[in-house]
Amino acid sequence: MKMPEVADNEHLPVAQARTGEPAAWDALFRRYQLPLYVYVFELTRHEQASLDLVQETFIAAVKHLGGLRGDEKFGSWLFGIAHQKCVQRWRKKGGHEILFDEIPETPDDFGDSPDDLLMRREQEMEFMNLLDQLPLPQRSVLLLHFIEDFSLEEIARITETQLGTVKSRLHYAKRALRKLLEQK
Amino acid sequence: MKTPREILLARHRAAGPKLEAIRRAVVTEELNHQVTKSQSRAAGLVSSCLDGSKVFWRELIFPSRQIWAGLAAIWILIFAANVSQRDPAPAGMVKAFPSEIMSFKEQQKLLNELLADRSLPLDIERPKLFSPRPRTQIVETVVV
């Protein structure tokens, strides 16, 4: 079977990757390499560390794909590995930023897709600045929402937090973002 | 107008070549490593079996090889002797069968006649030396 160069979400060749087919792995990694890097870089703010973490994530994926239940969960599973690698790195370095702080649950409308939020060119810098200012837990959730449009359940699984916590983090992050964009 | 996703991806697109290199390295090296690991597991099993047989040969057979050779020679001799002593005659038996049966029957008949003459009178003439009676009868005769 011929592999597409970049796998799309609908046709991830996970089953072929399970048999160790290099073309399948290549297509999967090509699909996720940049989104993963963006996610890891925006959390660590260090280029070389981000590249190392992406590599470690890929290696761990090759080694542990047998443990993945459900081929359609490959994307969130891969981001989960990357997230864990980031947490391990912070723990090793004794980082002050905490990924597991609890924010009280707040109900909100989460129906809007990340693509509903369109930004003008002059707003792009403000968006990136705002992202930098967000506390790490909120930034992590917002990035997962924007980069891959993961569901709340998937984000909860990736970050290993309660669903309610994810909801409240996303709520605060989006509110802060809207506020900033409206001010401008 | 761009979506946040497009903005984020565009911001880091410069890392593309490095990510390509990482991907290629993982796919070629890590997957090969996985394949060779599974192959080496199988090879390790085979080599451990071979090693086991080598150790068996080196430790048990080789030091006393003359004894083992002597034992083997004796077993071969025993086997050869066993094979040579076997009757090769099932077909010959079938051919000789009727005549031999006839002579055998005649001999058996003769033997029966001879035995019958001696044994019958012995059984008839032999007197009973002792015939046990109840104790009460014996006592009665004494009293009378």
Helices (H) and strands (E) in chain A, counts: 8, 0
A117, closest residue in chain B (CA to CA): B3
User: pTM value?
Assistant: 0.62
Q: Which residues of B touch A55 (CB under 8 A)?
A: 22, 25-26
The hierarchical CATH code for the domain A9-93 is 1.10.1740.10
| Residues A119-173 pLDDT 10s | 677 778 888 888 888 888 999 999 999 999 999 999 999 999 999 999 999 998 8
Chain B interface includes A150 (CB < 8 A): no
Alpha carbon A29 to its chain's center:
15
Q: Which residues of A touch B1 (CB under 8 A)?
A: 118-120
Question: A20-66 pLDDT, tens per residue?
Answer: 888 999 999 999 999 999 999 999 989 999 999 999 999 999 999 98
The Cα of A111 is separated from the nearest Cα of chain B by a number of Å equal to 16
Range of the domain at B16: 4-143
How much is the pLDDT for A110?
47
Question: Could you give the CA distance from residue A132 to residue A140 in angstroms, rounded to a whole number?
Answer: 11
The architecture in CATH of the region A114-183 reads Orthogonal Bundle (1.10)
Contact criterion met (CB < 8 Å) for B3 and A42:
no
Nearest CA in chain A to B36: A20
Q: Check CB contact under 8 Å for B11 and A25.
A: no
- Write the pLDDT tens digit of every residue in B33-47: 776 766 777 777 887
Indicate whether B22 pLDDT > 70.
Answer: yes
- Per-position b or e across A105-128, b if 16+ CB within 10 A of its CB: eeeeeeeeebeebebeeebbebbe
Q: Say yes or no for a CB contact (<8 Å) between B12 and A38.
A: yes
Confirm whether A9-93 and A114-183 share one CATH topology. Answer: no
Are A34 and B28 within 8 A, CB to CB?
no
Domain ranges of chain A: 9-93, 114-183
Q: What's the structural domain count of chain B? A: 1
